Structure 1
Amino acid sequence: MIQQLLINEIDLHVQAILQESGVERPSTLKILTEHPAHLEHGDYSSNIAMQLAKIVRRAPLQIAQDLQARMEKNGRVQGLFRKVEAVQPGFLNFYLAWDTWAQRAEQAAQSLGGIGKNTKVLIEHTSINPNKAAHVGHLRNSCIGDSLSRMLAHAGYEVEVHNYIDDLGNQLADTVVGILHTRTEESFDRFGDFCWETYAKINQAYKSQPELAEQRAVVLHALESGKSNLAWMGNLVAERIVREQLEEMKQFGIQYDVLVWESSIVNAGFWDTTFELLSQTDMFHKVADGKLAGCWVLKNREDEAVAELDNAEHQGDKVLVRSNGILTYTAKDIAYHLWKFGLLSNDFVYKKWGAGLWSTSSQGSKKKIGHADMVINVIDHRQQYPQEMVKLALQVLGYEEAASQLKHVSYGVVSLSPDTAAGLGIAISDGKSSYAMSGRQGIGIKVADLLDHMESVIEAKRSKKTGISSRTIAAASIRYYLLKYQLQTEVILDLEQATEVTGNTGVYLLYAYSRANSILDKAKKDARVLHLEPDFNVSLLEEQEYPLLRHIAYWPETLAAATQQLAPSLICHYAFELAALFNHFYSACPVLKGSESSIRHRLWITQIYKQTLQQALELLGMPTPNRL
């Protein structure tokens, strides 16, 4: 990776300068490189000389010139740079040797392949309540998690993907109560759509018939005991919903290795073992008096006092077992995470659920699943506090290494734009900039409905339909739309914007990719050029080609940053700019016209562009079609 090689070389010479000056290296000194905005300033630049000026008491330009001389003497970073230049007030500019770069370009992005060697990563994502159809907010979670799994697998990690199914929760209980105590005369194409309406109806019924809320407690108890008619009904509802949800996700290229059911965690005795472990620490105790009397709580190290807040979401102490003996979600999550890291003596047994997919079960066989070195949980930002409590529990139990390897990929929720909300019947007279989806009110955009709508938009706008299906294009477009935002950004879904096919969209990327394929295919069929092998020729480089080549050269470091930061949006931004630069190159530099040497040269650029964009699209979980 060019950037890392450059940083390592600069660091080598900085260390020498510090030693020669008799100065100890400050801990705050950090060597960074930038991509200059203007070509005349090179392909990389660094301000390290200006950082060193005060430390070694020399002029920044003098230090930059010293570094320039040392790097020139040392081979200009393994021959990758044709020139190193020191300029006022002390910048170092680096100019790539494009002929040397081209010789190594096809292998450059493969340099990440060994980063995760011998390291197992367990990624949990999706984890939708199995009580109704999935909505687009759930889909954002799944797309992020799936792209992360692809990125980490590319980096050489052993990746195992889990989907956690809360089959003992309030939401499933509400749907069961709704099936028993509400009525519908509508017809539905899918069971999940029926449950969507039923869940909303029962939550409305609770307001007019408060006694119905007591039925939720009855169903919850039945689900946990697992031995009654109600338990069977809950199991059947959950299983049917999960199968529909998995089929929906499959249309977006999203797959899993393991389904982990909450009931399996309870039945396998995970909490009993966890309770015993926690009881041996001073941070877990039963509250004797006050509003939390009878509750077992995990103390927050930052607040030794027992918090006495009614129904507080973020208490100083977190209740793990309520006074009536019922476990909280966080208690089961702590036990689950101890298992994820292989820290429990208990284990699951598994049965086949589908092709390549296993599910925890009451009966089955043992498998080598779990025992991760790193755990990544893709959960929206509202779950930050429970995630912190899981990490705290690991620390309290002395598992500091596991706690340090527990990563919460937090992201902003998906809300509705005013226009889209109004289209769903939501009153927007209060003038808010966005409106939350609400399963309890039956307000939101279902994944299946959005995909159907996007497919119809694509189908209507396609002039040629000889390539991949409109539905595949629609799924890719939706996926890109949900991935392109920075993780912490709230996605305000506007149906008009979400279904655009120009600008920074998935459709634009697919067309830009298929255009390169079309050029390369034409070259194979054109009698005049079919015998020409793509070949880079630095002497033929034109001004319009440099920006595209620079961007391709930056791909390995972009991918490394996206993987390190667990940020798929970085790949989205890179891919869009890459596609735009190629389209500009294609317009300014006809590939299949001109001299033979020019054609060979531009075919090489087209080919390396195609390979780079293909890798980016695959990591984003998007198709790479030969034509659209």
Structure 2
Amino acid sequence: MLSELIQESLKQCIHQISVSLGTPAVSQVTVELEQPANAEHGDYSSNIAMQLARTLRKAPNAIAEMIVSELQASGSVNGLLMRIEVAAPGFINMYMDWQAWAQTRDTFALPRNTGGKVIVEHTSVNPNKSMHIGHLRNSCIGDALVRMLKHTGYSVEVHNYVDDLGNQLADTVVGLLNIPLAGEHVRFGDYCWDIYAEINKAYTQKPETVQKRTEILHALEEGHGNTAWIGNLVAGQIVKEHVEEMRNFGIEYDLLVWESHILKEGFWSSAFDLLSQTEVFVQEHEGKLAGCWILKQPAGDHAMPDTGEEHQKDKVLVRSNGILTYTAKDIAYHLWKFGLLGKDFSYSEFNSGLWTTGMTGQILPFGQADKVVNVIDYRQEYPQAMVKQALKALGFTRQADSLHHVSYGVVSLSPASAAGLGIDTSGGKSSYAMSGRQGIGIKVTELVRLMEDMIESTRADKNGLSSRLIATAAIRYYLLRFNLGTEIVFDFKQAMEISGNTGVYLMYAYARAQRVLSKGGAAAEGNSTGAVSGSGNGALSSSGGGAVSEKIKLPLFPPQLEAAELALLRQLSLWQDTLYTASQELTPNTICNYAHGLASLFNHFYSSCPILKGGEASIAFRLWLTRCFTGTLGEALDVLGLPKPDRM
């Protein structure tokens, strides 16, 4: 990466200076780089001289001058720096030679990952009804993480965990067996959506009927008889609908892991035996938790509070009635993820390319992860911490440190969106939470249909992407662009806007650039400059992260870049650093912010620098810059799971 190369050069210079001054070596110092907002202050800047003032016992300005001299003597970072200046009180401002950068751009590579195999678990929706938009945020985040990790060289295995032994499925089965319901329903999941709401009304009206849930839960866990088969059939059909819904968004999985199989294959029994050998897994004999098996919290552990009934319940792994909590099964599942149980599933094909755990089938190399990433909303932070604690208690500290919870805020509806769905908004709230128990929310299929209809009714040109594809892309991007911790208030109109930080805006920018290249290619046909196609010295290939999709000859750069040209070049040069940082920090919104900034800078370049007008050299350079833009934005769109349209 470019920043890594500059940082390494600075470190070497600092080492040489410390040796010459006879001071302790400071080569391990962390060198921070930033790209100044104002290009007049350099393309890259560092305050390292100020950090070293105390160690080297010199004024920051003097240290900065010494570093600049060393940089220049060593070749100015392989000739990539055109000039280097010192600014008070000791900043080192570096100005790129963009022609030199372009000549070597395809040689920059992302750092080779050493993380091995990563298992990413996402979606994991209860198989008791159709998915709503809150579930969809989980899936979009998870899929973007998968794409980011793959782009940065990891081997990634994608899991969708199916909780077919939980309260939600039990409630739906209770409803199917006890609640008469008629009406128009296209899909089984939509029917169960209404059933689930109705049974929860019945629980409120007749609290004694909640006992039916406990009976069903026991029957599901035992796995025998009519009730267990009904549960299997319900969960199987709804998961099939979930998988198909997600496929419409370009979201795929490698493996479905069924909670019931964790029990049937004896995973929990093995986990129980391991935990029983520790001092933190005990059975309570008195008090509210008498008869329960719990995971005791370490004394003085402030990271996991021991107050409130919610947390009290979370640390129970086996209830007094023998029913396992979700956390207990999750501990067993994670021991298997890391290859620590000495047990495995059998696997069969659920549908083309998607495998499922089972009691019979093939032996396949699933699991055995070096790193695990779980995408689960912030309300599950405590149970995720419990899994970490269990791993550490068993002595698996490395695996506990390699378990990452990607937490995110929930999704609610804006007043306008809620009103459009027929929800009573007379209370004047700023947002309206969704509740499956109350039947409040917007199903994913319903959302796509509404967005598709709105797009179809307003677009003039219908020869490009289908309205459905635009709708799914717009929804997906809207759910990705916010900081993970932000609670999203979803608004239909905002998601579809063609200006601002939206998926539609990015796709329009990409299509605009493709049109320019198409026109430029026709105009340059037979042109000897080779600016649009061909090869030769200085040609760029698709290898370098955002480089062009075919080899093109590098044109001569103008003696003086226009401000819009320079701004676009600066943003293009940040792509690899941005992708690497986002993959390390597991933040898809970082890619969204970068892509929006890139598209905005291209649109400014397009309006202020006529690409196909002017001299031959100018046209050649601007077409090259446009093609670099499509290559980089195209890669960002791939990472975000959005289409790359030639025409909208």
Calculate the TM-score normalised by the size of structure 1.
0.95
Aligned length: 624
- Distance (whole Å) between structure 2 residues aligned to residue 387 and residue 27 of structure 1: 38
Aligned in 2, Cα 1:279/1:474: closer, same or farther, shift over 3 Å? same
Q: How does 1:204-603 map to 2 (within 5 A)?
A: 204-303=201-300, 312-315=309-312, 318-428=315-425, 431-526=428-523, 532-534=529-531, 535-540=554-559, 541-603=561-623
- Distance (whole Å) between structure 1 residues aligned to residue 107 and residue 76 of structure 2: 20
Cα offset, 1:232, TM superposition: 1.3
Are the aligned partners of 2:47 and 2:91 in contact in 1 as well (CA < 8 Å)? yes
Are the aligned partners of 2:122 and 2:375 in contact in 1 as well (CA < 8 Å)? yes
Superposed CA offset, 1:120-147 (max 9, x none): 0000000000001101111111011101
- Distance (whole Å) between structure 2 residues aligned to residue 528 and residue 12 of structure 1: 48
- Distance (whole Å) between structure 2 residues aligned to residue 313 and residue 235 of structure 1: 29
Partner residue of 1:87? 87
Structure 2 residue matching 1:545: 3-state secondary structure: helix
- Distance (whole Å) between structure 2 residues aligned to residue 323 and residue 25 of structure 1: 61
Counterpart residue identity of residue 251, structure 2 = I
Moved more, 115-124 or 325-334: 115-124
Is 1:167 matched up with 2:202?
Answer: no
Cα offset, 1:569, TM superposition: 0.5
Superposed CA offset, 1:461-520 (max 9, x none): 322222221111111111100000011111111233223233211111111101111111
Cα offset, 1:288, TM superposition: 2.3
Moved more, 411-420 or 573-582: 411-420
Cα offset, 1:293, TM superposition: 1.6
- Distance (whole Å) between structure 2 residues aligned to residue 316 and residue 130 of structure 1: 23
- Distance (whole Å) between structure 1 residues aligned to residue 301 and residue 314 of structure 2: 8
Cα offset, 1:207, TM superposition: 1.1
Aligned in 2, Cα 1:264/1:291: closer, same or farther, shift over 3 Å? same
Is 1:605 matched up with 2:602?
Answer: no
Aligned in 2, Cα 1:26/1:386: closer, same or farther, shift over 3 Å? farther
Cα offset, 1:269, TM superposition: 0.3
Superposed CA offset, 1:373-428 (max 9, x none): 00000011111111111011111111111111111111111112233334445455
Are the aligned partners of 2:372 and 2:403 in contact in 1 as well (CA < 8 Å)? yes
Are the aligned partners of 1:102 and 1:536 in contact in 2 as well (CA < 8 Å)? no
Are the aligned partners of 1:524 and 1:530 in contact in 2 as well (CA < 8 Å)? no
Partner residue of 2:535? none
Counterpart residue identity of residue 51, structure 1 = Q
**Identical-residue share of aligned pairs (%):** 54
Superposed CA offset, 1:575-617 (max 9, x none): 1111111111111122222222221111110111110000000
Aligned in 2, Cα 1:411/1:317: closer, same or farther, shift over 3 Å? closer
Are the aligned partners of 1:296 and 1:320 in contact in 2 as well (CA < 8 Å)? yes
Are the aligned partners of 1:300 and 1:317 in contact in 2 as well (CA < 8 Å)? no
Cα offset, 1:360, TM superposition: 0.6
Aligned in 2, Cα 1:316/1:400: closer, same or farther, shift over 3 Å? farther
Structure 2 residue matching 1:408: 3-state secondary structure: strand
Structure 2 residue matching 1:342: 3-state secondary structure: coil
Partner residue of 1:62? 62
Are the aligned partners of 1:424 and 1:443 in contact in 2 as well (CA < 8 Å)? no
Superposed CA offset, 1:236-278 (max 9, x none): 1111111111111011100000000000101010011111111
- Distance (whole Å) between structure 1 residues aligned to residue 422 and residue 189 of structure 2: 21
Partner residue of 1:123? 120
- Distance (whole Å) between structure 2 residues aligned to residue 18 and residue 415 of structure 1: 56
Cα offset, 1:351, TM superposition: 0.8
Are the aligned partners of 1:294 and 1:322 in contact in 2 as well (CA < 8 Å)? yes
- Distance (whole Å) between structure 2 residues aligned to residue 340 and residue 326 of structure 1: 23
Structure 1 residue matching 2:261: 3-state secondary structure: helix
Is 1:104 matched up with 2:91?
Answer: no
Structure 1 residue matching 2:311: 3-state secondary structure: coil
- Distance (whole Å) between structure 1 residues aligned to residue 94 and residue 196 of structure 2: 61
Aligned in 2, Cα 1:117/1:419: closer, same or farther, shift over 3 Å? same
Provide structure 1 residue ranges, at least 5 long, that are not aligned to the other structure. Answer: none
Provide structure 2 residue ranges, at least 5 long, that are not aligned to the other structure. Answer: 532-553
Cα offset, 1:18, TM superposition: 4.0
- Distance (whole Å) between structure 2 residues aligned to residue 26 and residue 77 of structure 1: 20
Structure 2 residue matching 1:375: 3-state secondary structure: strand
Calculate the TM-score normalised by the size of structure 2.
0.92
Cα offset, 1:304, TM superposition: 8.3
Partner residue of 1:32? 32
- Distance (whole Å) between structure 1 residues aligned to residue 528 and residue 588 of structure 2: 39
- Distance (whole Å) between structure 2 residues aligned to residue 350 and residue 286 of structure 1: 35
- Distance (whole Å) between structure 1 residues aligned to residue 189 and residue 358 of structure 2: 23
Provide the aligned C-alpha RMSD in A.
Answer: 2.2
Structure 1 residue matching 2:102: 3-state secondary structure: helix
Cα offset, 1:22, TM superposition: 5.2
Counterpart residue identity of residue 101, structure 1 = W
Structure 1 residue matching 2:464: 3-state secondary structure: coil
Are the aligned partners of 2:14 and 2:27 in contact in 1 as well (CA < 8 Å)? no
Cα offset, 1:55, TM superposition: 3.0
Aligned in 2, Cα 1:118/1:386: closer, same or farther, shift over 3 Å? closer
Aligned in 2, Cα 1:527/1:125: closer, same or farther, shift over 3 Å? closer
